[in-house]
């Protein structure tokens, strides 16, 4: 038999360890050495949020309601624009409050469902 034969016989080894016992032993040792369950990792807080289109249509923004020195203030549930979708007009509402940082689509641009249309910075 040469070295290129895939079915070469290899000596078999036997193992008398129960795999579940070994895994349980390792898990018990890890839990015994584990620190208190206080979270020590990195926390991520993203202040920017996006408002998405509820359906397909052409976007039409509305004029700002409240403007401050930092920008337009948008309240939760406020309409930021409308979508002209076939035979109906669908409002685009912000699900959260924040400062309007900018629109991500132009007036009259066709958008698809779930496409981001504006971004806000949380208050």
The tens digit of pLDDT for each residue in 7-21 reads 555 565 555 555 555
Q: How far apart are CA 114 and CA 104, in angstroms?
A: 13
| 43-97 confidence digits (pLDDT tens) | 767 789 999 999 999 999 998 887 776 678 999 999 999 999 989 999 999 999 9
8 A C-beta contact, residue 83 and residue 92 = yes
User: Taking the domain 48-122, which CATH number applies?
Assistant: 2.40.50.100
Q: How far apart are CA 6 and CA 29, in angstroms?
A: 41
Q: How far apart are CA 84 and CA 58, in angstroms?
A: 5
- 0.95 cut: is pTM over it? no
State the Cα angle at 65 between 91 and 56, rounded to 5°.
20
In three-state secondary structure terms, 29 is helix
β partners of residue 56: none
Question: Between 6 and 50, whose confidence is greater?
Answer: 50
The answer for residues whose C-beta is within 8 angstroms of residue 121's C-beta and 6 or more apart is 47, 48, 49, 98, 99, 101
Q: Counting every residue, how long is the chain?
A: 123
């Amino acid at each position: 038999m040469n070295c290129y034969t895939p079915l070469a016989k290899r000596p078999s080894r036997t193992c008398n360890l129960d795999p579940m016992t070994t895994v349980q032993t390792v898990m018990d040792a890890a839990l015994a050495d584990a620190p208190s369950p206080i979270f020590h990792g990195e926390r991520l807080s993203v202040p920017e949020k996006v408002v998405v289109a509820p359906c397909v249509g052409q976007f039409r923004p509305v004029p700002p309601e409240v403007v401050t020195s930092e920008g337009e203030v948008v309240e939760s549930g406020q309409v930021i624009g409308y979508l002209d979708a076939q035979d109906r007009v669908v409002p685009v509402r912000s699900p959260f409050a924040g400062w309007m940082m900018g629109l991500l689509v132009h007036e009259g641009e066709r958008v698809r469902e779930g496409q981001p249309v504006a971004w806000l910075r949380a208050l």
